[in-house]
Amino acid sequence: MELAIGIILGCCALGAGMAMIAGIGPGIGEGNAVASACEAIGRQPESQGNVTTTMLMGCAIAETTGLYALVIAILLIFLAPGRFVNILVETMNNIK
């Protein structure tokens, strides 16, 4: 029983860690977007307002991908272990 619970907890933590791999992408993407925006503003300083607005919206959209991963990780860490252990305990009780 303890082994099964340990496996459940370990798998949840592993899954949360793997989910957060998706959090790397938005950081790289936002970094590239801002670097390109710097270049664009350097060429045309008068367009700073428009570039900033567009980039803010773009960054917000890019960040959503990371948020999906974050939510999956949060659910796997805070909610899933309790639910899975409950299911395991109920199943063991039914078998007995």
Partner 1 sequence: MTKLDKTVARETVYICVWELILSVLMQAIYLAVGLWSNKVLFGNLISAYFAVFNFLLMGMTVQNALKMEEKDARHAMRFSQSARMLMLFLAAGTGVYFCDPIASVLPLFFPRIAVGFRPFIGKKNASLNEEEQKSDNN
Residues that bind partner 1 (CB under 8 A): 23, 26-28, 30-35, 37-39, 41, 46-53, 55-57, 59-61, 63-64, 66-67, 70-71, 73-75, 77-79
Q: Which residues make Cβ contacts (< 8 Å) with residue 47, sequence separation at least 6?
A: 40, 41
CB of 14 to partner 1, least distance (A): 17
Identify the CA nearest to 34 among candidates 62, 71, 8: 62
Residue nearer to partner 1 on the CB measure, 4 or 15: 15
Given CA atoms 57, 62, 65, 70 in this order, what sign does their dihedral have?
negative
Residue 11 beta carbon to partner 1: minimum distance, rounded to whole angstroms: 19
**Are the beta carbons of 62 and 33 closer than 8 angstroms?**
yes
- 61 versus 89: smaller Cβ distance to partner 1: 61
